[in-house]
Amino acid sequence: MPETGSAIGTGARPRLAPKVRLRWDRKDGRYMLLYPERGLVLNATAADVVQLCTGEHTVAAIVERLVEKYAPHPREAVEREVLTFLNAMAERALIRSDE
């Protein structure tokens, strides 16, 4: 298993780190990542990515799902954005990956 901050590739199976939870904020109508004594508001696309971070889907599968949802965005652009987001979340120890 990669260490915190390790690069996440397309074959990785990302999942939320321990003590991190995805929650829907009914008041504001948006998703948030909650972790000890902190919270991170997610935009719709980031929430879509995090919802798929169950450890079951590879990054490539997550990208394919988003390409279908957000067509006609090019696959390469979606993949780049997903990898950038996941690696930023891994650096903050909010996402882990199993390769």
**What integer pLDDT is reported at residue 26 of this predicted model?**
94
The pLDDT tens digits along the chain (99 residues) read 334 446 899 999 999 999 999 999 999 999 999 999 999 999 999 999 999 999 999 999 999 999 999 989 899 999 999 999 999 999 999 999 876
For residue 87, the surrounding DSSP H or E stretch is: helix 75-91
Domains, in order of start, for the chain: 17-90 (1.10.10.1150)
Rounding to the nearest 10 degrees, give the CA dihedral for residues 64, 66, 99, 31.
Answer: -160
Whole-number pLDDT of residue 5: 46
Cβ atoms of 9 and 59 closer than 8 Å = yes
* pLDDT, tens only, 30-57: 999 999 999 999 999 999 999 999 999 9
